[in-house]
Structure 1
Amino acid sequence: MPPKAKAAGKGRAPAKRKLAEKFPAGEVLTDTGKKTWKLGDPVGQGGFGLIYLAQENSSKSVGADAQYVIKVEPSENGPLFSELKFYMRAAKPDLIQNWQRSHKLKSLGVPRYWGSGLHEKDGKKYRFMVIDRLGTDLQKKFEECGRRFPRKLVLQLGLRVLDILEYIHDHEYVHADIKASNLMLSHNDPNKVYLVDYGLAYRYAPDGVPKEYKEDPKRCHDGTIEFTSIDAHKGACRRSDLEILSYCMVQWLCGQLPWEDKLQDALYVRDCKIRSQENISEFMDECFTSQEKPDELQRFMEEVRALGYQEKPSYEKLRSILRAGLKAIKAEDDFKLDFSPANGAVSPAKVSKHVRRDGVCRQEHPIASLSEAVKEGGVDVHRQSEGRP
């Protein structure tokens, strides 16, 4: 999440987050349960933290086959603290295992939480968290496939993400930032997909009581602008995650969402999404030819659009819609994810740009969140239409 903007009438500038310092391989961290973990080489970096290969502490060095990773941030930073709250409440191995068993799932794509704590080095304190190691993300696969996924794969990914969302929603959270770069394949099994990055995860129903529908200035710019839901500016809910998933599936299938030509204009993007929800059939016509239009994605969006703000989705009905799509193309969910390029897919450099209705085509660089759009363009997203109740 970006730093908070300076409050009106205050003379103090927003606090800047500190960058993480690199630890040497072999550094040993002790979690709150007194379990020790040894760091290997760093394998990733966020805006303010590093991700290291890790194993339980032993005399051996951490090898390339390590089964865990440790995320490390300076203790005063916020993103990992927010993510940690989700993992501690909802991602303990026994919780996930019991859910899989009770729902008869072969797998569930929520990384397991193995421990966390504070580590001090050279007088500085760092927060860390141990989770499962994962493989490549779907954004890389999407680009490798010429920014088009086959229809069967899109529907299978939708089914896997629905399982994940039902689980995290049942544990009182919404994710709020579903996208290909936050979906990762298993390190050991390329047919399993996991939803990661819970830094924006929102506890929508503490102790089972849904939060009231009202504007939430602290969260009004959360999410990734091309996907974030219309609800985002008023506090996320379960239908928000499902709306975001629907945009992802449409993009994966057609290559580009209609509003991707002007991602730096947050109001333009929001208004396009409002129009897409008001006339889903017209939105689908913008994205697909009549021969290519997937009826199941339109039905999925219509089902999500009909949900009330606090209404519990019928996940099984949504799954049945996607399974009907598989049946329509004479396929079934065989739990094998085939990332072969879709028919007619081209390299990313050749993907055509969408032309706005005013006849102007502008391709902007994607920006990570609505807050960045506001910061760069001076947009006040609070000046929005009321949206949906």
Structure 2
Amino acid sequence: VAGKWRLIEKISNGGFGVVYRAVNVFDNTIYAVKVERELMQKDSALRNELRVYNNILRSDPNSSGTGIARIFHYGHVDKDYRALVMQRLGPSLEDLFQYCGRSFSLKTVLMLGEQMIQRLEYLHVRNIIHQDIKPENFMMGLANGVDGAIVYIADFGLSKDFESTPPFPHKSTAPQLPQGTTRYCSVKAHRGHLQSYRDDLECLGYVLIYFLRGGRLPWCGLRNGRPTMTDEEHARAVMQIKMSISVQKLCEGLPEEFARYFEHICALRYGEVPRYAYLRGLFWELYRSRGYAQDNVYDWSI
């Protein structure tokens, strides 16, 4: 890539391309490289991701340390592929969740949750809506590095700029499939509404409950015994459960702070700015009340 990086091995496959581990041929430093086949210019997830990174860089030139990966190069590998060279990160939260036997302690979830809210606030202040919040899109820094305890937010392929005055912000386009990942996406996304700050935080709430309940959400397992269920039918069934379930039922058996988190999110209107400090404070006060040490020791570190 650009005569400077050599692809070593495939790290992961995604819906929008492939991620490789790469080495700088001049100093042997390891990087990550996202590669996408150049088919549709307009709908390029990689090009959209670069746009988001550039917006962040313009607003915050010293963005290192904020949980946003650094970008080093964007260009064509050959005439059929484009590549984005970026900072190498550690495993995703989904990888670590699997490593820990699909079980995270409350302490770990609270530490993650506080940082994840910070990452979303950082994006939202810059009018960026992520639109695909899920465990796979949050990654830890390298375990042996200075950022080993830092949560990074990644994959901006579906991200968009917030529209403060859209023509019909609440009009449903009745999509066959929601924007984002069905398991975690917001009710508004299911209904085809334009998404705003509240939607990213709603998705994050589902992710945290997923971690606390051993990988289970009330709408998981709907395909069991129904092998012919289409993706569209599955998405509609998930939406119906999300729309009908109460906050109390969703958060049953969990510390009350999680219900208060959802109550705040559900009360927000389109474009209304969440009280990020309040949401972080819910988790911090719960963390403190349980007497957990402020040691940055996660379940996978023990």
- Taking structure 2 as the reference length, the TM-score comes to 0.84
Alignment deviations for residues 353-378 of structure 1 (CA, whole Å, 9 cap, x no partner) = xxxxxxxxxxxxxxxxxxxxxxxxxx
1:85 is aligned, of 43, 46, 51, to 51
Q: What is the DSSP-based 3-state SS (H/G/I as helix, E as strand, rest coil) of the residue aligned with 1:54?
A: strand
1:129 match: 84
1:318 positional shift? 0.7
Contact 1:231 1:237 in 2 (8 A): no
Where do residues 62-81 of structure 1 align in structure 2 (5 Å cutoff)? 62=28, 66=30, 68-77=31-40, 78-81=44-47
1:284 positional shift? 1.9
Distance 2:86 2:274 in 1: 29
Contact 2:69 2:152 in 1 (8 A): yes
Q: What is the DSSP-based 3-state SS (H/G/I as helix, E as strand, rest coil) of the residue aligned with 1:270?
A: helix
Alignment deviations for residues 64-106 of structure 1 (CA, whole Å, 9 cap, x no partner) = x51x22212122242212222212222x3982636x7xxxxxx
Q: What number of residue pairs does the alignment pair up? A: 281
> What letter matches 1:194 in structure 2?
Y
- Taking structure 1 as the reference length, the TM-score comes to 0.66
1:268 positional shift? 1.6
Distance 1:136 1:274 in 2: 33
Distance 2:121 2:202 in 1: 14
Contact 2:100 2:299 in 1 (8 A): no
Residue 165 of structure 2 corresponds to residue 202 of structure 1: no
Distance 2:4 2:19 in 1: 13
1:163 match: 118
Give the RMSD, CA atoms, in angstroms.
2.5
Distance 2:166 2:61 in 1: 25
Contact 1:284 1:298 in 2 (8 A): yes
2:247 match: 280
1:138 match: 93
1:215 is aligned, of 161, 172, 177, to 172
Q: Mark the CA change 1:327 to 1:48 in structure 2 (over 3 Å): closer, same or farther.
A: closer
Distance 1:167 1:251 in 2: 23
Q: What is the DSSP-based 3-state SS (H/G/I as helix, E as strand, rest coil) of the residue aligned with 2:60?
A: helix
Q: What is the DSSP-based 3-state SS (H/G/I as helix, E as strand, rest coil) of the residue aligned with 1:260?
A: coil
Residue 73 of structure 2 corresponds to residue 115 of structure 1: yes
> What letter matches 1:331 in structure 2?
Y
Contact 2:36 2:46 in 1 (8 A): yes
1:52 is aligned, of 20, 37, 41, to 20
Task: Using the aligned pairs only, state the percent identity.
Answer: 31
Distance 1:242 1:70 in 2: 28
Q: Unaligned regions of 5+ residues in structure 1, if any? A: 1-27, 30-35, 101-106, 342-389
Contact 1:51 1:70 in 2 (8 A): yes
1:369 match: none
Distance 2:195 2:177 in 1: 9
Residue 198 of structure 2 corresponds to residue 239 of structure 1: yes
Alignment deviations for residues 143-176 of structure 1 (CA, whole Å, 9 cap, x no partner) = 2222221001101111111111011111111111
2:138 is aligned, of 179, 183, 186, to 183
Alignment deviations for residues 249-278 of structure 1 (CA, whole Å, 9 cap, x no partner) = 1110112111102165212211111123xx
Q: What is the DSSP-based 3-state SS (H/G/I as helix, E as strand, rest coil) of the residue aligned with 1:52?
A: strand
1:269 is aligned, of 233, 238, 243, to 238
Contact 2:129 2:160 in 1 (8 A): yes
Distance 1:131 1:217 in 2: 36
Distance 1:93 1:332 in 2: 37
Larger Rg: 1
Contact 1:296 1:324 in 2 (8 A): no
Residue 207 of structure 2 corresponds to residue 252 of structure 1: no
Q: Mark the CA change 1:284 to 1:218 in structure 2 (over 3 Å): closer, same or farther.
A: closer
Q: Unaligned regions of 5+ residues in structure 2, if any? A: 224-230
1:327 match: 288
Q: What is the DSSP-based 3-state SS (H/G/I as helix, E as strand, rest coil) of the residue aligned with 1:135?
A: coil
Distance 1:160 1:79 in 2: 25
Q: What is the DSSP-based 3-state SS (H/G/I as helix, E as strand, rest coil) of the residue aligned with 2:52?
A: helix
Contact 2:48 2:157 in 1 (8 A): yes
1:21 match: none
Contact 1:173 1:202 in 2 (8 A): yes
